[in-house]
Amino acid sequence: MRALLQRVRRAQVDIDGVCVGKIDRGLLIFLGVTHGDTPEDAVKLAKKCAGLRIFKDDNGKLNLSLLDVGGSALIVSQFTLYGDTAGSGRRPSFSAAAHPDVAVPCYEKFISAVKELGIHVETGRFGASMQVDLVNDGPVTLMLELPQKQERISR
């Protein structure tokens, strides 16, 4: 499971010209799910995202987490985080992205786990064509990935 985090001053996701999720200060989290990921993995990654110290303290140091600053999270599903461009062609392969029967429960569990930590959460819509607008603060952008389990590596 991968999460691309962007520290934002504001972010919004629209579907067909309608805003479906909007936050001010916080994290825009693009979430990708691969084969073998579980809802338990989603909980671990949610805690890591919420606790990552990437917000500035009073001294300008990155010592505060989303939890510490009382920020919000905009969570957007993004299977393209598992796009593979290593082949000789020009079209990425998305075979490492999980099918919806695996990805949806993980995505939903990630959202609920972030909410359970007391963070205000807005979301996109799984599988929809979305337009994301954001003001990256810093800019700060980080990729988090859970270590792969042995059974996933053998696929």
Q: Is the peptide bond before 139 cis (omega within 30 degrees of 0)?
A: yes
Q: Which residues pair with 59 in a beta bridge?
A: none
Which residues participate in catalysis according to the annotation?
80
How long, in residues, is the chain? 155
Q: What distances in angstroms separate CA 27 from CA 9, 45, 46, 153, 155, one per listed residue?
A: 9, 14, 12, 30, 32
